[in-house]
Amino acid sequence: MYATADMLLTSAQAAAAAEQPQETAIEVVLVKAVLEGDRDGFTRLYHLYAPLVHGILLARVPRAEVDDLVQDIFLHAFKKLHTLRESSSFGPWIAMIARNRAVDFHRRSRETVEINDDLRGSNTQDSRATEILELIRNLPEAYRETLVLRLVEGMTGPEIAVRTGLTAASVRVNLHRGMKLLREQLGFMEGL
């Protein structure tokens, strides 16, 4: 398993490196524009990064809470944007805010009431989706975020690497190992 993942790292790194400059340039321009008072620039940043934040939250908090938290996180980011030192690090920065907000959410919910995480949807497709999502959430933390971003949000491995600030190698290994574990879990479920 490790050998297969390692063999494929070189092409992954090359692809990620090719995509990175363009993405970074957009970020830098938008962050600079927002800091100069352009609110529309922040809306563009929101549209670029909302799927990332949504995926990070979906891997950690109840589905019903995700949309509100996405809005909260972007408002917080808007207020604190002047504290961002490197404009090119907007993605990793907002990803970290999202992870911290998910931790805060669980801390607060433990202090107040038990969250009734009823993920079951109305139709069969939705129900199946929530079941698989639950399986992903039970995987080790390193794999669940990458898998959600890939399978739910439809991002490619290089995109995940660029936007989260992780190395392409890490993302590729996480995807490969996470997918293997998920397949095992799904096989176990179908066997029941």
Partner 1 sequence: MNDDYLWDKTGEPDPEVQKLEEILGTLRYQPAPLEIPEDLQLPRRRNYFPWLAIAASVLLAILIGGLWLSMRSRREPTPIEAKLTAPAPAKEVTPTSSVTPEHKLPELKPEPREEVVVVHKHRPRSSAPLLSKSEREEALMAKEQMMLALRLTTEKLSLVHKKTQNPANQIKNQHRVG
| Binding residues for partner 1 (CB under 8 A) | 4-5, 8, 12, 15, 34-35, 37, 39, 42-43, 46-47, 50-51, 54-55, 58, 63, 67, 70-71, 74-75, 78-79, 81-82, 121, 125-126, 128-130, 132-133, 148, 150-154, 156-158, 172, 175-176, 179, 182-183
For residue 44, give Cα distances in angstroms to 26, 128, 131, 144, 176: 10, 33, 33, 27, 32
Choice between 58 and 105, CB closer to partner 1? 58
Minimum distance from CB of 139 to partner 1 (Å)? 13
**CA angle, 10 then 14 then 16, to 5°:** 115
Pick between residue 110 and residue 128 the one whose CB is nearest to partner 1: 128
**Residue 98 burial (10 A CB sphere; 0-12, 13-18, 19+):** buried
- Which of 80, 110 has the CB closer to partner 1? 80
Minimum distance, C-beta of residue 41 to partner 1, in the bound complex (Å):
10
- C-alpha gyration radius of the chain: 18
For partner 1, the closer of residues 113 and 192 by Cβ is 192
Q: Which is nearer to partner 1, 94 or 110 (CB)?
A: 94
**Residue 108 beta carbon to partner 1: minimum distance, rounded to whole angstroms:** 23
User: 117, 125 in Cβ contact below 8 A?
Assistant: no
Supply the minimum distance, in Å, between the C-beta of residue 136 and partner 1: 8
Shorter beta-carbon distance to partner 1: residue 115 or 132:
132
Report in angstroms how near the CB of residue 159 gets to partner 1 at its nearest: 9
Provide the CB-side half-sphere exposure for 151 (13 A, CA).
21
CA dist 79 to 7, 57, 89, 116, Å? 43, 20, 16, 31
The least distance separating partner 1 from the CB of residue 171, rounded to whole angstroms, comes to: 9
For residues 138 and 60, what is the distance between their CA atoms, to the nearest angstrom? 10
Q: Give the separation between CA 91 and CA 74, rounded to whole angstroms.
A: 12
